[in-house]
């Protein structure tokens, strides 16, 4: 689990002007505070490298998604991160045109009304459950009920 791929032309628009892309990504992750200490971010030609110590596998996954769902980012590397091993049953899903959280919940959990579980698991990258976009990557936590 050292590398994740993302769509370069899609995602949250953070870059502009003379701002350092690494600083903008770091500030964005730190603002949501998913549970990463001593966060370090570097950015080179679309590739983000994260370092630091994640409090949990979930915190690491959220930091990766927050960095990757930024316009201009094609890959996120986590070789410099200290974190517990991610759960083997966590999946990632790339949103396609026509998707909604309800539709994705129906696909993975068998019930469209379970969409709040997806929203809660992705609050750092989804600010409004009605506003997801094609190319966005989200976590699909395992069905535990």
pLDDT tens-digit readout, 76-134:
999 889 988 766 778 999 999 999 999 999 999 999 999 999 999 999 999 999 999 99
Are residues 98 and 133 located together in one domain of the fold?
A: yes
pTM of the model: 0.84
Q: Give the domain range for residue 116.
A: 91-140
Residue 145 within any structural domain of the chain? no
Tell me, what CATH number does 116's domain have?
3.10.350.10
Are residues 61 and 113 located together in one domain of the fold?
A: no
Are residues 14 and 73 located together in one domain of the fold?
A: yes
Write out the DSSP string of the chain.
--EEE--TT-SB----TT--HHHHHHHHHHHH--SEEEEEEEEETTEEEEEEEESSHHHHHHHHHHHHTBTT--EEEEEEEE-PPPPTT-EEEE--TT--HHHHHHHHHS-GGGHHHHHHHTTTT-SSTT---TT-EEEEPPP--
Tell me, what CATH number does 34's domain have?
3.30.70
């Amino acid at each position: 689990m050292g590398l994740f791929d993302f769509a370069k032309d899609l995602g949250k628009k953070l870059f502009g002007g003379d701002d350092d892309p690494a600083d903008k990504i770091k500030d964005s992750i730190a603002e949501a505070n998913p549970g990463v200490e001593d966060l370090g971010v570097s950015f080179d030609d679309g590739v983000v490298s994260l370092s630091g110590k994640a409090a949990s596998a979930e915190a690491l996954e959220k930091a990766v998604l927050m960095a990757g769902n930024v316009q201009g980012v094609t890959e996120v590397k986590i070789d410099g991160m200290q974190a517990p091993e991610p759960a083997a049953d966590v999946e990632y899903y790339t949103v396609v045109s026509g998707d909604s959280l309800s539709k994705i919940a129906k696909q993975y959990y068998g019930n469209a009304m379970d969409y709040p579980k997806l929203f809660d698991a992705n609050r750092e990258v989804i600010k409004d459950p009605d506003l997801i976009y094609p190319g966005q990557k989200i976590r699909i936590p395992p069905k535990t009920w």
